Structure 1
Amino acid sequence: MINELLLDISNKDDISLVLPLLFSPEELNAVNARALVYKELLLGERSQREIAKIHNISIATITRGSNNLKSMSNIEKELLQTLLIRK
């Protein structure tokens, strides 16, 4: 159901309005932190400890993100790279 809802949203402003209706502030922060961890890990420029210190994210959160990345298919990783690392 959420997939269909998000696919029906046509602009960035509407997404910014809808997400806080669907998720609590804590959930949104967790999703943002997860995306940031994935981005940093995919870039590969910093150690996990550096990422934790710079972004004030727990090592446990970063380790979970790293383990998730390791279990992803190449297609999933490429999609994340495309979405998170806009070059």
Structure 2
Amino acid sequence: MADTENKPTPEEVIREICRLIVKSQDQDLVYEFFGCLFTKSELNDFSKRWSLVKELRAGTTQREIAKKYNISLCNITRGSKELKKEDSAFKKMLALLDGEKK
């Protein structure tokens, strides 16, 4: 029988990955890491999710986004709800992106 007592929770694993990404401060290393960690299909889905958030903020309709990226309205609605939250991590990340562009 496998020892599951010491098995980290998914949250612990994700937090560890996030900590390492922040610690690395190396965009190329993080890009390579993502390429090792995720399949091409998973990376494609990942990029679509971020793209849809940017599209929503730009005022693109959910139906236009669904057609453009071949994404379900359910996924877009989820992104829209997250974006509407007062303390949204999406808003915070978009603000960081805006700061890069200045």
Structure scoring higher RCO (CA < 8 A, sep ≥ 6) equals: 1
Q: Which has the larger radius of gyration?
A: 2
Matched, 1:56 2:70: yes
The aligned residue for residue 79 of structure 2 is: 65
Matched, 1:80 2:76: no
The aligned residue for residue 15 of structure 1 is: 30
Any gaps of 5 or more consecutive residues in structure 1?
Answer: none
* TM-score of the aligned structures, taking structure 1 as reference length: 0.75
Runs of 4+ aligned structure 1 residues displaced above 6 Å come to none
The aligned residue for residue 29 of structure 1 is: 44
What secondary structure is seen at the aligned counterpart in 2 of 1:31?
Answer: helix
Equivalent pair of 1:35/1:84 in contact (CA under 8 Å): no
CA offsets 1:25-54 (integer angstroms, 9 cap, x no match): 33322221111111111111x211111112
The aligned residue for residue 3 of structure 2 is: none
What secondary structure is seen at the aligned counterpart in 1 of 2:25?
Answer: coil
* TM-score of the aligned structures, taking structure 2 as reference length: 0.66
Any gaps of 5 or more consecutive residues in structure 2?
Answer: 1-15
Matched, 1:2 2:22: no
